Amino acid sequence: MRESWSLGIDRKTVAPRRQALVVAEQLETWAGTPSAPGFFTQFAESASAVSGAPLEMLRRAAIDASNSMAETARFLRQTYAPAADPRNGVGQERHALARRRFMGMNVDAREAYEWGFAEVSRLDAELAKTAKEINPNATLDEVRHFLDTDPKNSIEGEENLRGWLQELMDDAMSFLIRENHFDIPKEIHRVEAMISPPGGAAAMYYTSPSEDLSRPGRTWYPANGRTKFPLWSEPTTAYHEGVPGHHLQIGMATVNSEKLSRFQRNEFVSGHGEGWALYAERLMDELGFLGKPEYRLGYLYAQAFRAARIVVDIGMHCEFTIPKESKWHGGEAWTPELALEFLSARSSSDDEFNKSEINRYLGWPAQAISYKLGERVWLALRDDAKHKHGAKFDLRAWHAYALDLGNLGLDLLKTELARF
C-alpha cells in the first residue's frame, strides 16, 4: 500500500490530507503501544484458550503486523500528508464516478441533494411529533437526553448487551418465519450477536456466514470503551444489520450457491445492499416491531441520519452551498465542522460516533448516500409490484424473488424486478 501511495504522489493522484491523518491515527490504535497492546497482540493471546495453538508463532506474527501498522502510520504522517490534497472533498467529477460505483445507476447530484434536504425536513417534523408522545412537555433534545441517561432505558455490561441483541434478533427471526413474511432456509436461521474488537469504526456492522455455512452470519457491536448502553436506538440498527436486513440478504446469497456464481454471491453494490437494510428497518416498523415510542424515535433518528448523510456527503464532495432559504447557515459552504453540527442534530449517537462518521464520508465518497437513495429505489419497486398485481400482490413472494437475485446494481435490479 505504501508503494502504491508513493506512486500516487508521483502522479499527483492523491487523497485529502485530512483522511491521511485520520487513517494514520487509526493504524496507530491498531498497532498499540507497550502499555496499551494493539489488536493483533490481543488477538494472538486469545489463542491461549485453544489447545495446541501455535502461540509463539502467533505472537511473532502479531508483532510483525503491529510493526507494519506503525510503520505505515509514520509514512502517512511524514511522507504522504505533506503531499496530499488540502481540500476535504474529492470534487464533482470523482464523486460522479463514486455515485455510479456505489449505486449501480446514475444519480443526479443536485436532485439527490435537494431531495435529501426535503427528506430531512420531513423527518425533523416526525421526530418532534414522536418525542411529544414520550414527554409532551420536553423538547426533542431533552427527550433524547432522558433516553440516553435513564437507567430504565439502558443495559449494563457488554455481555448483557450482547445477550439482549441476540434475543432481539432471535425473536425477529421467529416472527418472520411464523408469520410467513419470508421463506428463510434453516441453514441461516441463526445469526450471532457479537461485540467488535476496539480500534475500528464506531458503527455496528455485519459479517457473512462462511461459504460452507459452518460459521453463521454475525452482527458486531462496537462498545468503544463504554459499559452502559442506552437501548432506545438499538432495535432498528439490529434489524438493519441482522434480521431481516443484511443477514437475510447476504445469507440467502450464500445459501443459493447453485443459483448464483461465487462473484454474484460475494459482490456488494451498496445501493442495493444498504438500501435493502434500510428498507428492512422500515418493514419492521410496518410490522409493529417499533411500536414503542422510544423505539420508533430511534428508527426515525436512523432515517433522518441517513437523509442527512446525503446532504453532507454530496454537499462536501461536490462543493454545493447550503440552500440560501435555509435558516441554518443559508448560502454558506460546507465544512467538516458544519457537517458535524448538521449530522449530530439528527443522530441518536454520541459525539465520538458522529466525528467518526464525518471521517467516513470524506474518506469514502458517495457510499453514505447509498442507504436512503437505495431505500428509495426499493420502495418504488415494491410500489410498482403492488400496482401491477393489485389484490394478488404477495409480499412474501416478492421478497423471495428479489433476494434470490443476489446483489445487483440498481439499474439491473429495476430490470429484473419488472419481470416479477
| Three-state secondary structure string covering 109-143 | HHHHHHHHHHHHHHHHHHHHHHHHHHCCCCCHHHH
In terms of domains, do 276 and 163 share one? yes
In terms of domains, do 46 and 145 share one? no
Give the pLDDT of the chain (420 residues) as one tens digit per residue.
999 999 999 999 999 999 999 999 999 999 998 888 899 999 999 999 999 999 999 999 999 999 999 999 999 999 999 999 999 999 999 999 999 999 999 999 999 999 999 999 999 999 999 999 999 999 999 999 999 999 999 999 999 999 999 999 999 999 999 999 999 999 999 999 999 987 666 789 999 999 999 999 999 999 888 899 999 999 999 999 999 999 999 999 999 999 999 998 988 999 999 999 999 999 999 999 999 999 999 999 999 999 999 999 999 999 999 999 999 999 999 999 999 999 999 998 888 889 989 999 999 999 999 999 999 999 999 999 999 999 999 999 999 999 999 999 999 999 999 999
Output the pLDDT for position 323. 95
Label each residue of 382-403 as H, E or C: HHHHHHHHHHHCCHHHHHHHHH
In terms of domains, do 337 and 365 share one? yes
**Domain end residue (candidates: 370, 386, 405):** 370
**Residue reference for cell 499527483:** 12
Q: CA dihedral defined by 256, 260, 265, 268, rounded to 10 degrees? A: -120
Confirm whether 15 is domain-assigned.
yes
**Domain end residue (candidates: 37, 66, 86):** 86
Cβ distance 138 to 146 under 8 Å?
yes
In terms of domains, do 263 and 131 share one? yes
In terms of domains, do 76 and 103 share one? no
In terms of domains, do 74 and 101 share one? no
Residue 60 is part of which domain span?
2-86
**Residue reference for cell 430531512:** 120
Confirm whether 386 is domain-assigned.
no
Confirm whether 412 is domain-assigned.
no
* End-to-end Cα separation, the chain, in angstroms: 45
In terms of domains, do 194 and 303 share one? yes
Cβ distance 275 to 374 under 8 Å?
yes
In terms of domains, do 101 and 77 share one? no
Confirm whether 157 is domain-assigned.
yes
Count up the domains in the chain and report the number: 2
Cβ distance 232 to 297 under 8 Å?
yes
**Domain end residue (candidates: 54, 86, 118):** 86
In terms of domains, do 287 and 166 share one? yes
In terms of domains, do 80 and 156 share one? no
Q: How much is the pTM? A: 0.88
**Residue reference for cell 459479517:** 207
In terms of domains, do 189 and 293 share one? yes
Confirm whether 325 is domain-assigned.
yes
Cβ distance 84 to 14 under 8 Å?
yes
Q: In angstroms, what CA-CA distances link 381 with 4, 69, 400, 418?
A: 41, 45, 14, 8
Confirm whether 118 is domain-assigned.
yes
Confirm whether 379 is domain-assigned.
no
In terms of domains, do 101 and 248 share one? yes
Q: 225's torsion region: left (phi>0), alpha (psi -120 to 50) or beta? A: left
Confirm whether 281 is domain-assigned.
yes
